[in-house]
Chains A and B, each alone.
Chain A
């Protein structure tokens, strides 16, 4: 029963990711731009013979449906196509830029949880007192500030003004990156036992991660607070209290676990969004990640790269929401019956 539901959802996910690519494909092709003319040098593009030759070489002379079919066929093989801008498989581009985004969003998610959950607990437990109000204000401010503005302020203040933060980028411009194993600088420098690089990579990551976290902390805090308050009002909690269980134990053992469910839901979706690449933050911090790559591909109308990234982003989002839905199936069997 549950298995059928899971299978249904997985298939739906895949179909939707594909549908997303189809829509983007169609929209991108209505654009009156010719990537061949755009990519070729000035002289080459004036020669109709050369243009025709490159059009064939890049597979752009085939009818639309064929181009899309080729994309789908490649997808089945795990091949996202070849980027016109970088002349190499989109998967290679993704492999190069993904670690940067994964590292950054994971640290941001970690910071969000580290700060958001305790703040939410604090606000719930000290409800309607000063602490609660302050937390609420902090959240509102965090959510109200545009990420790109915060990013700029952080850079201007901590790097430009106070000069305690390092320059934008994953490492200093003259620094040697750690030997490549995963592409995650923190992991790679640990593996190579290079503490100096580890500290440098972490230092470069702090500011962008904090900025990213600032926008999601508010949401996590509010949800934790609301959820905990709701749980604290439940019957079983009242029973526990009536039985004389210490308040701290009540909160920690009974209420918190259940309260965290919606937070996890939210967290999962927020993480997916972070992973999808935050263009704005990556741009300001010169972070070579997927967000910036997606933007550059969009600007260059690099069809294979755009399609590949759309599929990836949609897939990540859908997978995360699937995992979240599935966790509900496991925890609440009533969901499956409709």
Chain B
């Protein structure tokens, strides 16, 4: 129990730390993340360049720090918007007639079966590369899982005894919704959200890795890993940005995990 709480706090600390870095990094960094120096390219980590330099001689450490300003918000935005939209969608579906619900859920299945990569590339080609368009593409394939979860939860709640009882007693639908159903569904959704941010960040980094996402030379962790992908001997170019992604996602996962245990009514004290 204490172990889990410690982990959760550790996770929160990691995330908070990165949020601070994202906020102040431009003033903290030793070099400008865009400073090109081709004759100093691909130098290993040293006193002058803690994380070494990349293919254009830029300081990897500075780029990793400033990269947090893009990598962090993008994943978070996708999940937040997807969660809100998906939950509303799923909740409504659960309240509709069986036919309506079936239809709505088939639509979510359709979106779930999409290869996200193809969609993202098509959107990028149609609308251009950039953070906004990649987030849009990700959102399109991200919301269904929240719709599914919300629908399942609401359905589950509706059939529970106490709701039936409340209805039997004549209590209004809206009241039941607000006072009983919502509090019991919000929990799992928030847990999924916390655990999902990591996923979204990794997916965004992956899309950046493939050439979508940011426009160069903006530093972004996924794109930076991609830059060094073929440079096996100059491992520092890809390793450190990847480590950054890893640390943030670990933070969110620790947090989410603790949250899940805390909200689980069946946990043992």
Looking at chain A's contact residues, the main secondary structure is helix
A28 surroundings in chain B (CB, below 8 A):
122, 125
Inter-chain CA distance A161–B239, complex, in Å, is 14
Mind listing 29 A-B residue pairs with CB under 8 Å? Answer: A12-B106, A16-B110, A16-B113, A19-B110, A20-B113, A23-B114, A24-B118, A33-B125, A141-B250, A143-B198, A143-B249, A144-B249, A146-B202, A146-B249, A147-B206, A148-B222, A148-B225, A148-B242, A149-B225, A152-B225, A152-B239, A280-B206, A283-B210, A294-B115, A294-B118, A295-B121, A295-B210, A309-B118, A318-B113
B109 at the interface (CB under 8 A from A): yes
Interface string of A121-150 (1 = CB under 8 A from B): 000000000000100100011011111110
B residues less than 8 Å from A161 (CB atoms): 235
B124 CB, min distance to chain A CBs, angstroms: 9
Pairs A-B, 6 closest by C-beta atoms: A149-B242, A160-B232, A298-B121, A144-B249, A31-B125, A27-B122
Interface centre among A133, A145, A280, A299 (most CB of B within 10 A): A280
Residues of A within 8 A of B (CB): 12, 16-17, 19-20, 23-24, 27-28, 30-33, 133, 136, 140-141, 143-149, 152-153, 155-156, 159-161, 276, 279-280, 283-284, 294-295, 298-299, 301, 306, 309-310, 313-314, 317-318, 321, 338
**What residues on B are CB-neighbors of A19 within 8 Å?**
110
Residues of A within 8 A of B113 (CB): 16-17, 20, 313-314, 317-318
B79 within 8 A of A: no
Given contacts A160-B232, A295-B210, A338-B98, contact A145 B246 (CB under 8 A): yes
Known contacts A295-B121, A338-B98; 10 additional CB pairs below 8 A are: A140-B250, A145-B246, A147-B202, A149-B245, A152-B229, A276-B115, A279-B210, A294-B117, A314-B115, A318-B113
B3, CB-defined interface residue at 8 Å: yes
Known: A17-B113, A20-B114, A149-B225. A155 touches B122 (CB 8 A): no
Residues in B with CB closer than 8 Å to A23 are: 110, 114
Q: How far is the CB of A261 from chain B (nearest CB, A)?
A: 17
Bound form: Cα–Cα A294–B117 in Å: 9
Contact mask for chain B residues 218-232; partner A; CB cutoff 8 A; 1 contact, 0 none:
000010011011001
Residues of A near B232 (CB, < 8 A) are: 155-156, 159-160
| B249 contact set on A, CB distance < 8 A | 143-146
Q: Which of A141, A144, A149, A313 is close to B115, meaning CB atoms less than 8 Å apart?
A: A313
Interface residues of B in 186-225 (CB under 8 A from A): 198, 202, 205-206, 209-211, 222, 225
| In the complex, B238 has a CB within 8 A of chain A | yes
Instruction: Determine if B92 is an interface residue (Cβ-Cβ < 8 Å).
Output: no
- Closest-by-CB residue of A relative to B209 is A148
Please, how many residues of chain B have a CB less than 8 angstroms from a CB on the other chain?
Answer: 43
Is A295 a contact of B114 with CB atoms below 8 Å? no
Is A148 touching B198 in the complex (CB atoms < 8 A)?
A: no
**Which chain A residues lie closer than 8 Å to B238 at the CB level?**
149, 152, 156
How far, in Å, is A317 (CB) from chain B's closest CB?
5
CB contact between A280 and one of B3, B112, B209, B239 (< 8 Å): that residue: B209
Q: In the assembled complex, which residues on chain B have CB atoms less than 8 Å from the CB atom of A156?
A: 232, 235, 238-239
Nearest residue in B to A145 (C-beta to C-beta)? B246
- Chain A hits for B222, CB < 8 A: 146, 148
Q: Are A146 and B210 in contact (CB under 8 A)?
A: no
Nearest neighbor of B238 in chain A, beta-carbon distance: A152
Determine the chain A residues whose CB is within 8 A of the CB of B123 once the complex forms.
27
Contact assessment for A152 and B122 in the assembled complex, using a CB-CB cutoff below 8 Å:
no
What's the least CB distance linking B217 to chain A, in Å? 20
Contacts of B242 in A (CB 8 A): 145-146, 148-149, 152-153
Q: How far is the CB of A24 from chain B (nearest CB, A)?
A: 6
In the assembled complex, the Cα of A28 lies from the Cα of B115 at a distance in Å of 13
Tell me whether A31 and B122 are in contact (CB under 8 A).
Answer: yes
Q: Which chain B residues lie closer than 8 Å to A32 at the CB level?
A: 126
Check if B253 is an interface residue, CB within 8 A of chain A. yes
